[in-house]
């Protein structure tokens, strides 16, 4: 009978190349470059704010931190598909908010409200961040851009909290989202100031 493998000691993990240790940060930098390329104003990134909240809300409603990456990629597909197929008629923010709407019903099954990370707290965050994204669409202009940037910075604090407590989403996703939120918010401010 073989023994189970020993966990990797912290010292051994620290000797791994930085690319392996900080891949979520590096992925966020690359994603920021893609997102920021050709950005005309911050309102264009309101769907990113809604998507950030959607992932946490979805993972809490499904009660599986492992769904954070699939939910992130699903949100990306929704954003790109809406942009490509919608012809500008429907903003992806509205689609993401509509997709989030049925999740509370799913989450009302027994024990859902007692899950780590607290579904009621995630619902409040979805309303706050999703509401800010929707409000930005209605405002337009520089005020909307700063609202999206502020919302992303607020969500970065949300990411930091979840990274620290290691609940709701997986830690690499929380790290990725934190860095992405901060960098995209900075890009929005720079573009708006230079606009």
Pairwise CA distance, residues 119 & 123, whole Å: 6
Pairwise CA distance, residues 103 & 112, whole Å: 11
Per-residue pLDDT of the chain (195 residues; tens, 9 = 90+): 555 555 555 555 556 665 567 898 998 899 888 888 777 777 788 899 999 999 998 898 888 899 999 999 999 999 888 888 866 678 888 988 888 877 666 656 665 555 555 677 888 888 899 889 999 988 888 899 999 999 999 999 999 999 999 889 999 999 999 999 999 999 999 988 887
Is 8 part of any domain? no
Return the pLDDT at 132.
Answer: 93
Is 139 part of any domain? yes
Question: How many C-beta atoms lie closer than 10 Å to residue 14's C-beta?
Answer: 8
Q: What is the DSSP string of 167-186?
A: -SS-HHHHHHHHHHHHHHHH
Is 48 part of any domain? yes
Pairwise CA distance, residues 66 & 22, whole Å: 19
DSSP state for residue 89 in the 8-state scheme: S
Is 146 part of any domain? yes
Number of domains in the chain: 1
> Can you say how many angstroms the Cα of residue 113 is from the centroid of all Cα atoms in its chain?
22
CB distance 150 to 52 below 8 Å: no
Q: Which domain holds residue 174?
A: 24-33+41-194
Longest dimension (CA), the chain: 67
Is 6 part of any domain? no
Residue of 106, 192, 98 lying closest to 141 (CA atoms):
192
Is 18 part of any domain? no
Return the pLDDT at 115.
Answer: 56
Is 82 part of any domain? yes
75 token code pair? 């949100």
**Burial profile 48-76: b = 16 or more Cβ within 10 angstroms, e = fewer:** bbbbbbbbbbbbbbbbbbebbbebbebbe
Is 49 part of any domain? yes
Please state the pTM of the whole predicted model.
0.81
Residue of 176, 192, 189, 187 lying closest to 52 (CA atoms):
176
Q: Which residues have a Cβ under 8 Å from the Cβ of 147 and sit 6 or more positions away? A: 132, 135, 136, 139
């Amino acid at each position: 009978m073989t023994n189970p493998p020993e966990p990797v000691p912290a010292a051994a993990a620290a000797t791994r190349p930085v690319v392996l240790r900080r891949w979520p940060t590096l992925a966020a930098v690359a994603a920021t470059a893609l997102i920021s390329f050709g950005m005309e104003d911050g309102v264009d990134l309101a769907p990113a704010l809604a998507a950030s909240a959607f992932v946490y809300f979805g993972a809490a409603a499904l009660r599986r931190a492992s769904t954070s990456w699939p939910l992130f990629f699903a949100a990306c597909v929704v954003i790109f598909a809406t942009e490509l197929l919608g012809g500008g008629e429907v903003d992806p923010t509205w689609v993401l908010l509509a997709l989030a709407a049925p999740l509370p019903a799913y989450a009302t099954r027994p024990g859902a409200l007692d899950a780590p990370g607290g579904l009621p707290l995630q619902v409040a965050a979805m309303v706050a961040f999703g509401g800010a994204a929707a409000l930005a669409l209605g405002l337009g202009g520089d005020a909307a851009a700063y609202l999206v940037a502020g919302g992303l910075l607020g969500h970065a604090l949300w990411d930091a909290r979840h990274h620290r407590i290691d609940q709701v989403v997986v830690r690499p996703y929380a790290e990725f989202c934190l860095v992405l939120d901060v960098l995209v918010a900075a890009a929005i401010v720079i573009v708006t100031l230079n606009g």
